[in-house]
Amino acid sequence: MRRQLVVELRRKGITDEKVLDAIGRIPRHLFIDDSAFHVHAYEDKAFPIACGQTISQPYTVAFQTQLLGLRPGDKVLEIGTGSGYQTAVLALLGVKVYSIERHRPLYLETRTRLERMGYKATLTHGDGYLGWPQFAPFDKVLVTCGAPFIPDALQAQLRTGGRLVIPVGEGSAQEMIAVDRSGPESFERQSFGAFRFVPMLADRAR
Ligand code: SAH
């Protein structure tokens, strides 16, 4: 079923072989608590997880990961740990992952899950709008919830030459934006089409 999913993602336009390989190796069903969904875990769909959140659609995970343009050893900040599936994809690609989750029960559950499965990542319960200043700067920042705007802290914590991937917009659809920090004070934005995410929750401190 995993191999079939990889075929589907390739057909939908994912070309990064390392990303496809990671998705082909990670047991996605183990990231979904409700075993009623396990038979569907390798369909290209989002599913419900705890706290009214969702595990992202595999295509979205693959698209965002590909867009990051990861290099081995990169330091990556993820906002919205959720189930930890995206976190596991990043860990398997050989980058150092830092991930923040707003819902405490989800953070606790996912910390245990990733530890048990042997994926290395540094997790915390907190507010992603603030980034994680103690570990900044980051080579890449990945937001996995729909943000109403691009938080200043996330741009500020990006290394020069680094990239922030963030779905921006309120309501039912978000625009996938890549922000490249091309100099200490210069940020270049590109748009990569419409996606659908659960909202990035307040606090909305800029
Ligand atoms: N990467 C996850 C996606 C989960 S959905 C996965 O593959 O499972 C997005 C997650 O972002 C949810 O778990 C939600 O609780 C979290 N989130 C929302 N607002 C946040 C914020 N301000 N800071 C950190 N996490 C947030």
Q: State pTM to two decimals.
A: 0.96
Beta bridge partners of 159: none
Question: What average pLDDT does this structure show over 178-182?
Answer: 98
Q: What angle do CA 143, 201, 197 make, to 5 degrees?
A: 50
Does the pLDDT of residue 205 top 70, yes or no?
Answer: no
Could you confirm whether 99 is annotated as catalytic?
no
**Average pLDDT value for the chain:** 96
Instruction: Report CA(99)–ligand 1 centroid distance (Å).
Output: 10
For 31-76, write each residue's pLDDT tens digit.
999 888 889 999 999 999 999 999 999 999 999 999 999 999 999 9
d(CA 101, CA 107): 6
Q: Which atom of ligand 1 is nearest to the CA of 203?
A: 22
3-state secondary structure of 123: strand
Are the beta carbons of 197 and 146 closer than 8 angstroms? yes
**Residue 118 token pair:** 């042997």
Summarize pLDDT for 71-92 with one digit per residue, the tens: 999 999 999 999 999 999 999 9
| Nearest protein Cα to ligand 1, atom 10 | 80
Separation of CA 166 and ligand 1 centre (Å)? 12
pLDDT over 50 at 206, yes or no:
no
Domains and CATH numbers, the chain: 2-195 (3.40.50.150)
What is the rounded distance in angstroms from the CA atom of residue 38 to the CA atom of residue 31? 9
What's at 133, amino acid-wise?
P
Report residue 83 as tokens: 């189930």
Q: Which amino acid is present at 203?
A: D
Ligand 1 nearest atom to the CA of residue 128, by list position: 23
Mean per-residue pLDDT for 118-130? 97
pLDDT of amino acid 202:
83
Residue 126 and residue 105 in contact, taking contact as beta carbons nearer than 8 Å: no
